[in-house]
Amino acid sequence: MNFATIYRFIRDQGLNQRQVDPNDRRRYEADHPNAIWQCDVMHGPSVRHEEKGFRKTYLFAIIDDHSRLIVHAEFYWYETFLSLKECLKKAVSSIN
């Protein structure tokens, strides 16, 4: 197979040129407060538990995309959906 022929065809068709989008889409911010919330979980420190010795904790945080306000953040013993659900309930109840 002659690769020079393939490369020449690609060049002649303009397929080797990088197409540039004039709109920068790398940054995004919601237009209004509380339009979008971001949620993340971070591994927290190990803390002494009265029954089980030292246990790992998990920090759940919910952040408003527009204002970057931390709507609610709390450490939990488990990285589960139930912990996320409880954190989200507290975040929603904190909105005036």
Which residue range(s) make up the domain with 79?
32-96
pLDDT number for residue 93: 94
Give every residue of the chain whose pLDDT is below 70, as ranges: 1, 25, 96
pLDDT number for residue 28: 74
Would 19 be classed as within a structural domain? no
Would 15 be classed as within a structural domain? no
pTM of this prediction?
Answer: 0.67
Would 83 be classed as within a structural domain? yes
pLDDT number for residue 15: 81
pLDDT number for residue 1: 63
Would 43 be classed as within a structural domain? yes
Would 79 be classed as within a structural domain? yes
Q: Please provide the DSSP assignment of the chain as one string.
A: --HHHHHHHHHHTTTTSPPPPSS--S----SSTTS-EEEEEEEEEEEEETTTEEEEEEEEEEEETTT--EEEEEEES--SHHHHHHHHHHHHHT--
Instruction: Please give the structure tokens belonging to residue 51.
Output: 């029954």
Instruction: Please give the structure tokens belonging to residue 86.
Output: 């409880």
